[in-house]
Amino acid sequence: AADRSASRASDRPLVIGHRGASGYRPEHTLEAYRLAIRMGADFVEPDLVSTKDGVLVARHENEISGTTDVSAHPEFATRKATKTIDGVAVTGWFTEDFTLAELKTLRAKERLPQVRVTNTAFDGRFEVPTLQEVIDLARNEGRARGRTIGIYPETKHPTYFASIGLALEEPLVTVLRANKLTRKNSPVIVQSFETANLRKLNRMIDVRLAQLLDAAGRPYDFTVAGDARTYQDLASAAGLKWIAGYADGIGANKNLIVPRDAAGKLLAPTNVVRDAHREGLIVHAWTFRVENQFLPVDFRIGTDPNARGDITSEYELFFRLGLDG
Ligand code: G3P
Ligand code: CA
């Protein structure tokens, strides 16, 4: 994994449209991704789950009552179920119980209607997109704008999906290959909280990979398949070295990089960026949200490094640190 060209010297951060322009359109819809691109995002970020027929679709969770109108469809009432997903009991409707054709009869709705009030105007209008549709959109929008739009897909609950016979890796590799999206010719970075998922992908396809880490420096699975060592803290120097054996970078919770005290005040940066760069890893941080007041509401992402407003705290700090790599 010597080619780190997804990272670049730049006078502005790399902007990843998290779930699309999700502050302005219901997340993970083509309309949200399109707006993110039009606002200047370099990448769009589809979270991926599987349908019953093994098609990858963009949803943050496989349980979809909060992000679609499924509960208003009487024909699907009997599909409501309670399942244990990664140790948590979840009740609702699940993508793996719907074929793609059935899922396409649903419409997206705003996940956080109280926070993103204006987004509710779009409820009931947009479909749940497939990964292929996201790729097509990025290509077409990029072509129209004379720039390349990256895709930053995240595999959600890969161990769970494998346990029900719907492993995410195979369909993901199939789609990437069919679209010629490999390291050589595309700005694609696949991210996951599960180390085993990325290690498997690393064996299957030559594409950039990013290990997600939470604020405590942990992946979600903690399992180091096929390796005798287990790092409780993958953000340590040793853990980052190990990650560099299968991935190109880390996607770190921003508080892993710049921690906060109990009152929420930002503290001095940790050594994570330095240590990751020593291993040749790119570093991307998540997530900056308008409603958390990390950015002024009218800030146009990625286009104006001198943006006005109170952009003096987290964004500026991250900008100075050059956390895009
Ligand atoms: O890129 C990492 C970030 O997307 C993880 O957070 O929004 O998928 O829960 P999320
Ligand atoms: Ca994500």
Give yes or no for residue 251 CB within 6 A of ligand 1: yes
* Residue 212 Cα: closest atom of ligand 1: 2
What's the 31 CA to ligand 2 centre distance in angstroms? 17
Residue positions counted in the chain: 325
Counting ligand 1 atoms within 8 A of each CB, the residue from 211, 212, 214, 250 with the most, and so the one to mutate, is 212
Residue with the smallest CA separation from ligand 1 atom 10 is 60
Give yes or no for residue 295 CB within 6 A of ligand 1: no
Instruction: State which amino acid sits at residue 200.
Output: K
pTM for the whole thing?
A: 0.88
Give yes or no for residue 20 CB within 6 A of ligand 1: no
Where do runs of H (alpha helix) occur along the chain? Answer: 30-38, 100-103, 131-145, 158-163, 169-178, 195-204, 237-243, 254-257, 272-278, 314-321
CB environment 222-235: b (16+ within 10 A), e (fewer) = eebeeeeeebeebb
Cα distances (angstroms) measured from residue 279 to each of 176, 233, 261, 276, 321: 26, 16, 28, 5, 17
Rounded Cα gap, residues 189 and 201, in angstroms = 11
User: Which ipTM was obtained for this model?
Assistant: 0.98
Q: What is the pLDDT of residue 289?
A: 62
Q: What is the pLDDT of residue 298?
A: 39
Q: What is the pLDDT of residue 14?
A: 76
What's the 284 CA to ligand 2 centre distance in angstroms? 12
Q: Encoding tokens for residue 248?
A: 């190109």
Give yes or no for residue 286 CB within 6 A of ligand 1: yes
In three-state secondary structure terms, 206 is coil
Cα distances (angstroms) measured from residue 81 to each of 70, 76, 78, 93, 203: 13, 11, 8, 6, 35
Rounded Cα gap, residues 248 and 6, in angstroms = 9
* Listed residue (152, 134, 156) closest to 49, CA to CA: 156
What's the 153 CA to ligand 2 centre distance in angstroms? 7
* Residue 152 Cα: closest atom of ligand 1: 1
Contact 105, 79 (CB under 8 A): no
* Listed residue (271, 266, 215, 277) closest to 243, CA to CA: 277
* Listed residue (60, 61, 22) closest to 41, CA to CA: 22
What's the 170 CA to ligand 2 centre distance in angstroms? 19
Q: What is the pLDDT along the chain (325 residues), one digit of tens a residue?
A: 333 334 444 455 678 888 998 888 999 999 999 999 998 888 999 999 999 999 999 999 999 999 999 999 999 999 999 999 988 999 999 999 999 999 999 999 999 898 888 999 999 999 999 999 999 999 999 999 999 999 999 999 999 999 999 999 999 999 999 999 999 878 899 999 999 999 999 999 999 999 999 888 877 765 544 454 556 678 999 899 999 999 999 999 888 988 888 887 777 888 998 899 999 999 888 887 655 544 433 333 333 444 333 333 444 445 444 443 3
Give yes or no for residue 275 CB within 6 A of ligand 1: no
Neighbours of ion ligand 2 (CB under 5 A): 47, 154
Query: Mind listing the domains of the chain with CATH numbers?
Result: 16-61+127-321 (3.20.20.190)
